């Protein structure tokens, strides 16, 4: 068993951001690769901004991503007495002093502070630029830099893997380790994630929290795979990497020194690959909540329209298996299967005015479908093609307008499957409705 011990330490002042999730993932992968420990510490000393709802969301998002932690959850807000004792150590050695009700640490004013970073090598800071550091605020709470040092040492953290926006905090923390007689961890500051315009990722680049991607129907396996490749690579241009393989191949030294660009289109493509990997029954289970949220049926009936069963729903899911990239796309794309009334896409409906034969084609086709005793796909296709031949219409002349008639759209899954899954009544009613518009 390795002695590697790392931590992820979010503040519950907002939802779990994509960048923070990537930091958590790199810590988790490093710990699991080294057979070490991954701890979760909640930095909630900011009493005004820390909220339980944010903590719950952070924990929920980490669990959804499969980033399990070792040991108990640690909360800084419950460790004030511990920090106070550490501050008193410094006071007793005259390394800290009171200033009004706050406590300040005496920062050395000569020499240089050298931060040894795994990715960047040595980074030097002149101590003369730093003022004495407040370690306890006048409200009786510890400051970030002090609490972090006390906690990391107390938890035996061996490696601190965090965003490079923390580089400026490290020279403030190193003198505290020395003053308290503590061994500092190995530091590894990873570059921040950038938007496609190469500025720091923010809300203006679209969804930024894990919760938003979860609600949009992204799969945790895909998000983990994508985040792992933001600033790290196994070195062989491999893009689809399962979790166990990520653990096996993850090497902190292969993390890039430049900011990785987050592309939602690439994440959506990757999610689509993981959707394809799902079996139809499994994918159906994942899609049902999205149908329920859209109001298609009730949970007790698995969201199915009247008279439909699980087998019907799985046939429908199979029809869209290769077409959806996120789970939330399914209810929108399959809308015309669930709703009684459809609205015709304006561009698609222009098809009706192009051929004067369509009114008769729609009405006669409705009669053909109405007479079918068996409404499975082969039976629908056989009778439909025979009817096209009788009408003297090509597949393009007949199928495309009929597709619009029964779905309201110019694009749908294969036509005969679509008609069969719609069912006789819906298909017939919509053909008659379309005939009135010709």
**Residues designated catalytic:** 203
Count of CB atoms within 10 A of residue 104's CB? 17
Tokens of 89: 């150590």
* Sequence-separated (6 or more) residues with CB below 8 Å from residue 371: none
Beta-strand pair 37-42/112-117: unpaired
Name the nearest CA neighbour of 379 among 368, 388, 390.
368
Tokens of 114: 């050298």
The helix/strand count (H/E) of the chain reads as 19, 10
Name the nearest CA neighbour of 83 among 7, 180, 168.
180
Query: Helix, strand or coil for residue 88?
Result: helix
**373 class by beta-carbon count within 10 Å (0-12 exposed, 13-18 middle, 19+ buried):** exposed
* Sequence-separated (6 or more) residues with CB below 8 Å from residue 232: 26, 250, 254, 255, 256
Do 418 and 412 meet the contact criterion of CB atoms below 8 Å apart? Answer: yes
In angstroms, rounded to a whole number, what is the distance separating the alpha carbons of residues 162 and 403? 54
How big is the chain, counted in residues? 438
Tokens of 272: 């689509």
Query: Helix, strand or coil for residue 123?
Result: strand
Question: Which secondary-structure segment (H or E) carries 124?
Answer: strand 121-126
In angstroms, rounded to a whole number, what is the distance separating the alpha carbons of residues 343 and 330? 18
Q: Name the β-bridge partners of 124.
A: 114
């Amino acid at each position: 068993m390795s002695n590697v011990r790392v931590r992820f330490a979010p503040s519950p002042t907002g939802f779990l951001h994509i960048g923070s999730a990537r930091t958590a993932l790199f810590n988790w992968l490093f710990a699991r690769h080294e057979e070490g420990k991954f701890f979760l510490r909640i930095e909630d000393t900011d009493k005004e901004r820390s909220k339980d709802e944010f903590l719950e969301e952070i924990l929920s998002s980490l669990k959804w991503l499969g980033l399990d932690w070792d040991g108990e959850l640690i909360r800084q807000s419950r460790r004030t007495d511990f920090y106070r004792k550490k501050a008193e150590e410094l006071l007793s050695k005259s390394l800290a002093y009171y200033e009004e009700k706050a406590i300040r640490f005496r920062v050395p004013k000569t020499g240089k502070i050298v931060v040894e970073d795994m990715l960047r090598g040595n980074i030097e800071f002149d101590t003369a630029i730093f003022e004495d550091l407040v370690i306890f605020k006048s409200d009786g709470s510890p400051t970030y830099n002090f609490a972090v040092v006390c906690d990391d040492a107390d938890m035996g953290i061996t490696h601190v893997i965090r965003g490079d926006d923390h580089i400026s905090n490290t020279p403030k923390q190193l003198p505290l380790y020395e003053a308290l007689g503590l061994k500092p961890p190995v530091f590894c500051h990873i570059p921040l994630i950038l938007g496609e315009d190469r500025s720091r990722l923010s809300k203006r680049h679209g969804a930024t929290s894990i919760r938003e991607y979860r609600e949009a129907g992204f799969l945790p396996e895909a998000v983990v795979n994508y985040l792992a490749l933001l600033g790290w690579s196994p070195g062989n241009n491999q893009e689809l990497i399962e979790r166990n393989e990520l653990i096996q191949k993850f090497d902190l030294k292969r993390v890039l020194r430049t900011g990785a660009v987050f592309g939602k289109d690439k994440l959506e493509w990757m999610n689509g690959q993981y959707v394809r990997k799902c079996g139809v029954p499994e994918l159906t289970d994942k899609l049902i909540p999205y149908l329920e949220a859209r109001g298609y049926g009730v949970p007790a009936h698995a969201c199915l329209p009247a008279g439909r069963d699980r087998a019907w729903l799985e046939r429908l899911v199979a029809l869209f298996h290769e077409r959806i990239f996120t789970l939330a796309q399914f209810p929108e794309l399959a809308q015309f299967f669930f709703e009684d009334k459809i609205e015709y896409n304006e561009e698609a409906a222009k098809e009706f005015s192009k051929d004067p034969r369509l009114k008769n084609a729609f009405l006669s086709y409705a009669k053909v479908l109405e007479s079918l005793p068996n409404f499975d796909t082969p039976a629908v296709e056989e009778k439909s093609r025979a009817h096209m031949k009788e009408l003297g219409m090509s597949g393009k002349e007949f199928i495309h307008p009929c597709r619009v008639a029964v779905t309201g759209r110019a694009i749908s899954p294969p036509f005969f499957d679509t008609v069969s899954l719609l069912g006789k009544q819906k298909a017939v009613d919509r053909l008659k409705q379309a005939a009135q518009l010709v």
